[in-house]
Amino acid sequence: MAISCRTQLIVQFRAAYQKEANGRGTFTSYFSKESPGRAAVWLGFRIIESYMMKNKNNSLADIMKDTDIQGILEKARYNPK
């Protein structure tokens, strides 16, 4: 069974950012020293991953062109588990 390009892209991004999520990062009031570095990048990836899974007619290029950030967030319906 062939894997779609979208699935391959998601798998590649997940592997890359999961590794990076444990890297060094800056700390703010939102991300304490106990949180992993690049936590915001990882969270952003998970939101886009959720968006792509729920909006299969849109490509990653479409998302990158979209400037309605709140709309992307709402359409992603991201729910951390």
Which SS3 state, helix, strand or coil, does residue 80 take?
Answer: coil
Q: What residues contact 10, with CB distance under 8 A and at least 6 apart? A: 49, 52, 53
Residue 13 or 29, more confident: 13
pTM: 0.58
> Side chain identity at 8, as an amino acid letter?
Q
pLDDT digits (tens, 9 = 90+) for 36-71: 667 777 888 899 989 999 998 988 888 888 899 899
- Range picked from 4-13, 18-27, 50-59 for highest mean pLDDT: 50-59
Q: Which residue has the tokens 């007619």?
A: 57
Q: How many residues does the chain have?
A: 81
Is the CB of residue 15 less than 8 Å from the CB of residue 42? no
Q: What is the residue-averaged pLDDT of the chain?
A: 77
